[in-house]
């Protein structure tokens, strides 16, 4: 996976749900049940992502996967649950840029530096969406309204430390506009704010929007990608609409630092096999996800590069 800085990369109740009843754990994996923790609220993009992983990866690794939603503090509560948990391969974190952003912009009890990537799987395109009957047809319509009526346009994003919130900071600077950015505990909650009319615009991933798109409730008007994304209609990119902003959100699995090497090796082998599974591939391609599998060593190097780019972005826009 290639990173291009922030422009190119671009929640504490727990809800646990068993994903599949897999065969007994294989002899080379130390535990039978693995918890996958997310900062996203149920129905959010990472919640959907982890459930699908558990469904397909469980039989491959011989493990029962359980998803837990630990919301609050921009991902800090979920990070603490992972780092303070057992170091035996039984608890992991669904990672996105959020936990890095939260670490850099606040003072959480646990930061990304006490964690380590295990594997990365995808780049997840960011999209801009509105209600199906919204008068906004293009990004230009939103910009024009925001320029004519400053602070009148409300944009719904997920957590305060999410990449979609950072995308909005950059978009406002790029367009010299002032909008209200409404944050939530996760992507599922953010979509509700658009559906109930609290916000006129939302920024999200395709997986979070798929159900509402198919129900005819929302439509995507732009993607922050280099090229148009198949499977969502003929939606022009932000660049095609005159706004030079390309963002892709990495999705992967992270854990506490210094997990046993055999645990890391089992994940690397299991996920490498998963990415070749035809049914799983059909799912992620339909969701607009881009295969960006990385081993731990590769993901660690990419993370460190991202941190440098992210800090430069914060400095450029005076975000602290």
In order of their start, the domains of the chain are 5-124+249-317 (3.40.190.150), 125-223 (3.40.190.10)
Please enumerate in sequence order all residues whose Cβ is within 8 A of that of 118, keeping only pairs 6 or more positions apart, or say none. 92, 252, 253, 254, 255, 259, 264, 267, 268, 296, 299
68-78 per-position pLDDT tens digit: 999 877 789 99
Confidence of residue 193 (pLDDT cuts 50, 70, 90): very high
The CA-to-CA distance between both ends of the chain, in Å, stands at 28
Q: Return the pLDDT at 48.
A: 87
Please, what's the b/e burial string for 212-232 (b: 16 or more CB within 10 A of its CB; e: otherwise)? bbeeebbbbbbbbbeeebeeb
The structure tokens listed for 241 are 């609409």
Q: How many CB atoms lie within 10 A of CB 171?
A: 24
Distance CA 42, CA 7 (A): 28
For residue 122, is pLDDT > 80? yes
213-264 per-position pLDDT tens digit: 999 999 999 999 988 988 888 999 999 999 999 887 899 999 999 999 999 9
Cβ 35 vs Cβ 86: under 8 Å: no
Please, what's the b/e burial string for 73-92 (b: 16 or more CB within 10 A of its CB; e: otherwise)? bbbbbbbbbbbebeeebbbb
Q: Return the pLDDT at 198.
A: 97
Name the more confident of 197 and 290.
Answer: 197
Q: Return the pLDDT at 71.
A: 86
For residue 27, is pLDDT > 90? no
Distance CA 116, CA 93 (A): 10
Q: Return the pLDDT at 133.
A: 98
Q: Return the pLDDT at 206.
A: 87
Q: Return the pLDDT at 294.
A: 97
Q: Rounded to whole angstroms, what are the CA distances from 202 to 95, 171, 301?
A: 21, 13, 31
Q: Return the pLDDT at 7.
A: 44
For residue 18, is pLDDT > 50? no
């Amino acid at each position: 996976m290639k990173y291009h800085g922030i422009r190119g990369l671009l929640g504490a109740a727990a809800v646990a749900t068993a994903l599949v009843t897999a065969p007994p754990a294989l002899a080379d994996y130390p535990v039978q049940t693995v918890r996958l923790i997310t900062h996203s609220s149920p129905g959010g993009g990472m919640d959907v992502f982890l459930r699908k992983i558990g469904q397909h990866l469980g039989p491959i690794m011989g493990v029962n996967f359980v998803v837990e939603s630990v919301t609050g503090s921009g991902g800090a509560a979920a990070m603490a649950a992972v780092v303070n948990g057992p170091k035996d391969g039984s608890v992991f974190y669904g990672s996105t840029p959020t936990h890095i952003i939260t670490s850099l912009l606040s003072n959480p009890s646990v930061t990304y530096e006490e964690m380590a990537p295990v594997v990365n799987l995808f780049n997840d395109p960011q999209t801009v969406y509105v209600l199906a009957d919204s008068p906004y047809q293009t990004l230009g319509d939103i910009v024009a309204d925001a320029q004519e009526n400053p602070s009148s346009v409300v944009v719904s994003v997920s957590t305060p430390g999410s990449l979609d919130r950072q995308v909005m900071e950059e978009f406002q600077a790029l367009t010299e506009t002032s909008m209200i950015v409404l944050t939530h505990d996760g992507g599922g909650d953010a979509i509700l704010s658009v559906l109930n009319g609290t916000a006129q615009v939302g920024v999200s991933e395709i997986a979070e929007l798929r159900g509402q798109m198919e129900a005819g409730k929302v439509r995507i008007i732009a993607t922050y990608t280099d090229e148009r994304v198949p499977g969502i209609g003929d939606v022009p990119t932000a660049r095609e609409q005159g706004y030079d902003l390309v963002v892709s959100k990495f999705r992967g699995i992270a854990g506490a630092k210094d997990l046993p090497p055999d645990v890391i090796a089992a994940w690397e082998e299991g996920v490498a096999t998963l990415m070749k599974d035809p049914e799983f591939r059909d799912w992620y391609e339909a969701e607009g996800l881009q295969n960006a599998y990385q081993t731990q060593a590769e993901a660690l190097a990419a993370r460190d590069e991202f941190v440098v780019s992210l800090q430069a972005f914060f400095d450029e826009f005076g975000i602290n």
